[in-house]
Amino acid sequence: MTGWLIRTFVPNAEDTGDPTVRTRYGLVASVTCIVCNALLCLGKGAVGVVAGSVSIVADAVNNLSDASSNVVSLLGFKLASRPADEDHPYGHGRYEYLAGLVVAVLVCAIGINLVMSSANKIAHPEPTEFGPAVVAVLVLSMAVKLWMATFNRRLGRAISSETLEATAVDSRNDVIATAAVLASAVVSQLVGIDLDGWAGLAVGGFILWSGIQLVREAVSPLLGKVPDPAYVEHIRDKIMSYPGVLGTHDLMVHDYGPGRQFASAHVEMAAEGNPLDQHDLLDNIEQDFKDDEGLVMTLHFDPIVTNDPQVRDMRHWIDLAVKDIDERLSIHDLRCVPGPTHTNVIFDCVRPTDCALSASELRARVSELVRDHYPRAVCKITVDESYVSSRQ
C-alpha cells in the first residue's frame, strides 16, 4: 500500500533532495493520515458513546486531534516549500520544524486531557458496556494505526522529516493506548472491577511523556542542534580528498530546514603554492558540494608553511601534546615569528563545548606545556569553540 501511494502520487520519488518531491511526500502522508484518523474518530466515538466508556471516547478524541495534527503537517510542508524572498533569503524550510513542534504540543495536550478525564472517571465511576462492537472497533483501530506508524516512519526516513517521524511516534502511541483500553475492558469483564478510568490514566500519562520527548526533539533544530557526526565526517573527508589540501577546521553547518543547509570551513594549503591555483581549487570544491549534495559551502584559505622543518615539527608536537590535557583538543593555523630573545608561536586551539577548563584556563595550560618543551616560545593562542561536535 505504501509503495503504491508513493509510486502514484510522488513523481521522481527517489530525488528526495528536491523540495518539490519533499512537499509531495508530505502531502501524501498528511492527506492519508487525515482520512484514516477521521474515519477512526467517527467509528470509535460512536462505539464509545454507546458503551459509556471514557477511555474509548478519549481515544476517539485523540484521533480527532491526530487529524488536526495532520492538517498542521500539511500546512507545514506547503509553507516550507515556498521559495526564498527578499525578507527570507534562506527560504522557508523551518516551517517544517515549526509544524513538528505544533504536532508535539498537540500530543502533550491530548495526554493532559486524557489524564484529567480519566481522573474524573475514577472519582465518579460509571458503568462501562462491553461487547463485540467494542472489541471490533478497537482491534481495527490498532491495525490501522500500526500501518500508519510504519507508513509515516518510512516516508519520514526517506526525506529525513522530523514532522513525519513525530507523526509515526504518535501513531505508535495510539496503538499502545488502544491496546491498554482493550486490555482494561477485557480484565474488567473478567474480574468485575471497572478499570476503564485507570487504563485511561495510564495511557494519558504515557502520551504526555511521549509528547514532552517530541517537543524536545522538535525544538532542538530550531535552536541550532549539532549536525550529525557522520555528516560532519563526510564533509571533512570530502574536503581532504582534494590534492593540495593539508587540513581543514572551523567547520560550521547551518540548518535552515530540510534540504537547506549552509556550511563554511577553513582549508589549510601550502603557503608556498600559487594563490590563483589554490583559489581555483577552493571554488571547485564549493561547486562540487553544491552540485553533488545541494550544500552551499564557503571555504576560507589558510596558508601553512611546509618548507620549514622546525615549524612543521613544532606544529606536530603541539597537536599531540595538547591531547594530554583533553584528547579532543586540536590546534591549527600555527606560525612562528622569531625574535632576538624569544619566538612568538601563534596558533588556534579548538575547545570542546563541555571541556572542564575555561578558555583562559586552557590557554594558560597549553602555554605552560609548550614553554616547558620550547623555552624560547611565547604562545599567542586563540581558543576556538567547536560548532559541530563536542567529540571532534
How is domain 2-223 classified at the architecture level of CATH? Up-down Bundle (1.20)
- The phi, psi pair for 251, rounded to 5°, reads -75, 135
pLDDT at 284 over 60: yes
CA distance from start to end of the chain: 43
pLDDT at 151 over 70: yes
Mean pLDDT to the nearest integer, 220-243: 89
pLDDT at 390 over 50: no
pLDDT at 363 over 80: yes
Q: What is the pLDDT of residue 80?
A: 80
CA-CA distance, 53 to 133, in Å (whole number)? Answer: 13
- The phi, psi pair for 342, rounded to 5°, reads -160, 170
Mean pLDDT to the nearest integer, 70-92: 82
CATH number for the domain formed by residue range(s) 230-385 = 3.30.70.1350
130, amino acid identity: F
CA-CA distance, 207 to 171, in Å (whole number)? Answer: 11
CA-CA distance, 92 to 312, in Å (whole number)? Answer: 46
Domain positions in the chain: 2-223, 230-385
Q: What average pLDDT does the structure give for the chain?
A: 84
**C-alpha cell of 392?**
571532534
Q: Where are the alpha helices (DSSP H) in the chain?
A: 2-9, 19-51, 54-80, 94-123, 132-159, 162-191, 196-223, 229-240, 275-293, 309-321, 359-373
Mean pLDDT to the nearest integer, 171-182: 80
What angle is formed at CA 238 by the lines to CA 233 and CA 244, rounded to 5 degrees? Answer: 125
pLDDT at 249 over 80: yes
Q: Which of 62-66, 95-99, 358-362 has the lowest mean pLDDT?
A: 62-66
Confidence of residue 55 (pLDDT cuts 50, 70, 90): low
Q: What is the pLDDT of residue 129?
A: 62
Q: What is the pLDDT of residue 392?
A: 42
**Residue bearing cell 545541494:** 294
Q: What is the pLDDT of residue 262?
A: 92
Confidence of residue 274 (pLDDT cuts 50, 70, 90): very high
* DSSP 3-state of 322: helix
Q: What is the pLDDT of residue 255?
A: 87
Kindly report, residue by residue over 180-205, the tens digit of the pLDDT.
777 877 777 777 777 777 877 887 78
pLDDT at 391 over 70: no
CA-CA distance, 138 to 32, in Å (whole number)? Answer: 20
Highest mean pLDDT among 34-38, 95-99, 205-209: 34-38
